Amino acid sequence: MQRDVFDQMRARGTRREAVLVSERRWSASYTADMTIPVIDLAGFSTGSEAARVAVGRRVDRACVEVGFFSVVGHDIDQQIIDEAHAAALEFFDMPLDDRMGAAKPDPTYPYGYAPFSTEALNRSIGGSSVPDLKEAYSVGPLAEPPRPLDEMTDVNERAVWAPTLWPAAMPSLRPSLERYYFAMADLARTVMNTFAYALDRGDGWFDPFIDEHGSALRLAHYPALSSAPDPGALRAGAHTDYGTLTILRLDAEPGLQVRDLEGNWFDVEAPDGALVVNLGDLMQRWTNDRWRSTMHRVVVPAGRHDKRRLTMPFFHNANWDARIECIVDEGAHPLHEPVYAGRHLMDKFRSTVT
């Protein structure tokens, strides 16, 4: 019934009416408690059509109401996850000079090492927060680019496919992160297929939009602090993600929070072995604001400033030249103009550097 009302309002073609209905729908069950749903993917790729449809329905509800969910039964080898996490910690434990051997040549270069407090994620949504209390190492697309870099006429497309700067002081980092990257890319394709079922698009509907994706992996390290941070200082400022979806291994140390539509913040929790998935801005736009790209941040929990935290978000994106048009039912009206996925991504990224 709720979906029928929402679709009727969208069909009137009035953006404000549709947004009001979507906000009521989003907040129907999660204004008092932003519980992150748990979805079991076991057997999705090999199960019956009825089983896939059932998973799609659960995914749809999670994307409408929360914009976050965690997945179990994802079939990722735990050893791949553990080895990548251990390698990431080893990288950030190296002397700064060794980490700087893989430093970005300038702040707008997308891949490599970014020292402490050189990014402010809140600026991607027009905020003016102080720089984040973190350092990061980013890995770019590991598949072959769709065409040689010197044939790419758009400087931003060349940036997406720019080489990752690997640390000479730690050659073991690359193979462990490559294994993790490709495992996350495989999982992202599966999750995108659950999206196809959730939106009644059919098996593999998103595949042509993501078969040459320029996705990135980030190691986000929040070092232990010698004293409590100044008021308003965050490990990662309030922001939404940019692309289709993000896959995250939660750290044992708390800090990740999501915001409901009333401005309340809630801690993100997930079962052991689960991976957290959240939607990006492109996916909200693609679904004509049916699904939500939820605001989130990383705080320094009270009394825990002396604890370090490490996460490894995988940021999945559509193909650079994928034309993203709102998915609407017959008779409904799009709330957004078409956009190319690559341009959308790079405009967001460049707004965050300090």
Distance CA 240, CA 284 (A): 11
pLDDT along the chain (354 residues), means of 10: 36 37 42 79 91 97 96 96 98 98 92 85 60 93 93 91 97 98 98 98 96 96 91 89 95 92 92 96 96 95 92 96 93 92 78 54
Question: What is the pairing mode between strands 216-222 and 265-267?
Answer: unpaired
How many CB atoms within 10 Å of residue 229?
A: 14
Give the pLDDT of residue 353.
54
Extents of the domains making up the chain: 2-350
Give the pLDDT of residue 117.
77
Give the pLDDT of residue 343.
84
| Structure-token pair, residue 73 | 């039964």
As a residue count, the chain comes to: 354
Q: Which CATH number fits domain 2-350: 3.30.390.50, 3.60.20.10, 2.30.30.30, 2.60.120.330?
A: 2.60.120.330
**Distances from the Cα of 257 to the Cαs of 36, 267, 295, in angstroms?**
11, 4, 9
Q: Contact 129/120 with Cβ under 8 angstroms?
A: yes
Question: What is the pairing mode between strands 256-259 and 323-324?
Answer: unpaired
